[in-house]
Structure 1
Amino acid sequence: MDTLPEHLARAILFAVGLIAALVLWALPPADGALLLHHQFLIAVLAAALLGAALFRGIRPAVVIAGLLSQAGFVGIALATPDFGATTALYLNLAGMTALLCAGALLVAAARQQARWDGLQPQQRSP
């Protein structure tokens, strides 16, 4: 069942996929294997987020993977004193916030679907 929370979550996943693509654009050119590897992971994350907007089955896994990936980048960026790509840091923070919202919306949609299907008991007043 397509509900409003699910439509909003799909829109957020698409937007975060675009934000991840913007992070690639904001990062400096890869001068080492580590930065090149990080840019590859961001490209895979962006593709997964854009795919999750279309395919329902992969959404929970992609939201969790996206949060872990972006949290790792933010942690490394905050631990590095001379980190130069502050735009990428802020884009990752915005992406994490949006993914948390998308995850909450997906949980709300799943609960609504379970209630509709009769799998979750409703509270009855005495």
Structure 2
Amino acid sequence: MDTFAERVARAILLAAGVSAVWVLLALPPADGAALPLLLHHRFLIAVLAAALLGAVLVRALRPAVVATGLLSQAGFVGIALAMPDFSATTAFYLNLAGMAALLGAGALLLHSARRQARWEGLTPRHGEA
């Protein structure tokens, strides 16, 4: 069932995927001693972007992709808060906004799934179970 909440959640996932691609394209070229770490970071962003964009089309991926995106962005925010000399405040606020968007998408997807289960008679309407 394609509800309004599900369409909004898909739009949020699409926007998050496109912003992850923009982040990937905006990263400076990797060089020096930290080359393996920077390449690994690029790879993880590319996988996350592909998963977010794929979740727009594949319904079964959406809960896992929302959880993975939240973990990824929460990890960045946690590391940024733990470092006293962190100076990339734009990236910090973008990750906070991304977390809020993914939380919203997750809530909309959960709401849509609950309505679908209720419509199909899989959950009781009055909590009698």
* 2:79 aligned residue: 76
Conservation of the 8 A alpha-carbon contact between 1:19 and 1:91: no
Which letter does structure 2 place at the counterpart of 1:76? I
1:43 matches 2:46: yes
> What's the offset of the Cα at 1:63?
0.5
| TM-score normalised by length of structure 2 | 0.86
CA distance in 2, matches of 1:26, 1:88: 11
After the TM superposition, which residues 5-24 of structure 1 pair with which residues of structure 2 at under 5 Å, given as runs? 5-24=5-24
State how many pairs are aligned.
124
**1:83 alignment partner, SS class:** coil
CA distance in 1, matches of 2:125, 2:102: 28
Could you tell me which of 121, 124, 128 is aligned with 1:121? Answer: 124
Tell me: CA distance 1:72–1:34, structure 2 relative to 1, closer, same or farther (3 Å). same
Could you tell me which of 90, 95, 98 is aligned with 1:92? Answer: 95
**2:124 alignment partner, SS class:** coil
* 1:103 aligned residue: 106
Tell me: CA distance 1:40–1:70, structure 2 relative to 1, closer, same or farther (3 Å). same
Tell me: CA distance 1:38–1:88, structure 2 relative to 1, closer, same or farther (3 Å). same
Identity of aligned residues (%): 73
- Larger CA deviation: 81-90 vs 96-105: 81-90
Conservation of the 8 A alpha-carbon contact between 1:28 and 1:85: no
Residue by residue over 1:84-116, the C-alpha shift from the partner in whole angstroms, topping out at 9 and shown as x without a partner, is 433222221111110000000000000000011
After the TM superposition, which residues 54-65 of structure 1 pair with which residues of structure 2 at under 5 Å, given as runs? 54-65=57-68
> What's the offset of the Cα at 1:40?
1.4
Which letter does structure 2 place at the counterpart of 1:9? A
Tell me: CA distance 1:80–1:34, structure 2 relative to 1, closer, same or farther (3 Å). farther
Tell me: CA distance 1:19–1:100, structure 2 relative to 1, closer, same or farther (3 Å). same
**1:74 alignment partner, SS class:** helix
| TM-score normalised by length of structure 1 | 0.88
Conservation of the 8 A alpha-carbon contact between 1:26 and 1:85: no
> What's the offset of the Cα at 1:79?
1.9
